[in-house]
Amino acid sequence: VRGGDPNVGGVREARRASVDVLRHVMSSHLSDGPVQEYCNAELFQMVHRDPRCAPAVVGCAPLLKSIVQGMELNAEDEVVQERACRTLWLLSVEDRHRAAVVFSGACSAVSKALLAHGTQSEAGAAAALG
C-alpha cells in the first residue's frame, strides 16, 4: 500500500498478518524448496513494492530464522539460495534493520550460498553480509 497514512484501514495490521502467514508457511515447510522459493520471492516483492513493509519483516525474528533455516535445509537448491540472498540483502539495506538480519544467522547462510553456488546475485549477497 503506497502513500497516505500507513495506519489507514489497518494497513499496518495487514502487513503484520501477511508476514505472519509467510512465516508460518516457511517454518512449516523448511525443507520444501519450491515453498521456500515462493515465500522468499513474495517477501522480496512485498518489501520492494512498499519499503514500509520492511519493519514488519525484520521485526519478526522467527521469519528471519525461517529464511536462514530454509537456506540451510535447501543448500543444494541454487534458486532457493539466490532468492533468500536477495531477500536478506533487501532487508539489510537500511542500517536500522541490518542488526536483526545479522543476528538471524544470515551472514553464515549467505557465505555458504556464495561458496556453494557463486550465484549471479553475488553483489547482492555480499551486500547482505554488511
Exposed, middle or buried by CB within 10 Å (0-12, 13-18, 19+), for 96? Answer: exposed
**Domain assignments of the chain as residue spans, ordered by start:** 8-128
Pick the residue with more confidence: 92 or 130? 92
Write out 3-14 in H/E/C secondary structure: CCCCCHHHHHHH
pLDDT at 124 over 80: no
pLDDT at 1 over 50: no
Predicted TM-score of the model (pTM): 0.81
DSSP line for 56-75: HHHT-HHHHHHHHHHHHHTT
**Res 29: pLDDT:** 97
Where is 42: in which H helix or E strand? helix 33-49
- What tens digit of pLDDT does each residue of 43-65 get? 999 999 999 899 999 999 999 99
Q: What is the DSSP letter of 19?
A: H
**Alpha-carbon gap, residue 111 to 128, rounded angstroms:** 10
> What percent of the chain has a predicted confidence (pLDDT) above 90?
49
Mean pLDDT of the chain: 85
CA diameter of the chain: 45
pLDDT at 2 over 80: no
- What tens digit of pLDDT does each residue of 59-107 get? 999 999 999 999 999 999 989 999 999 999 899 888 898 999 988 988 8
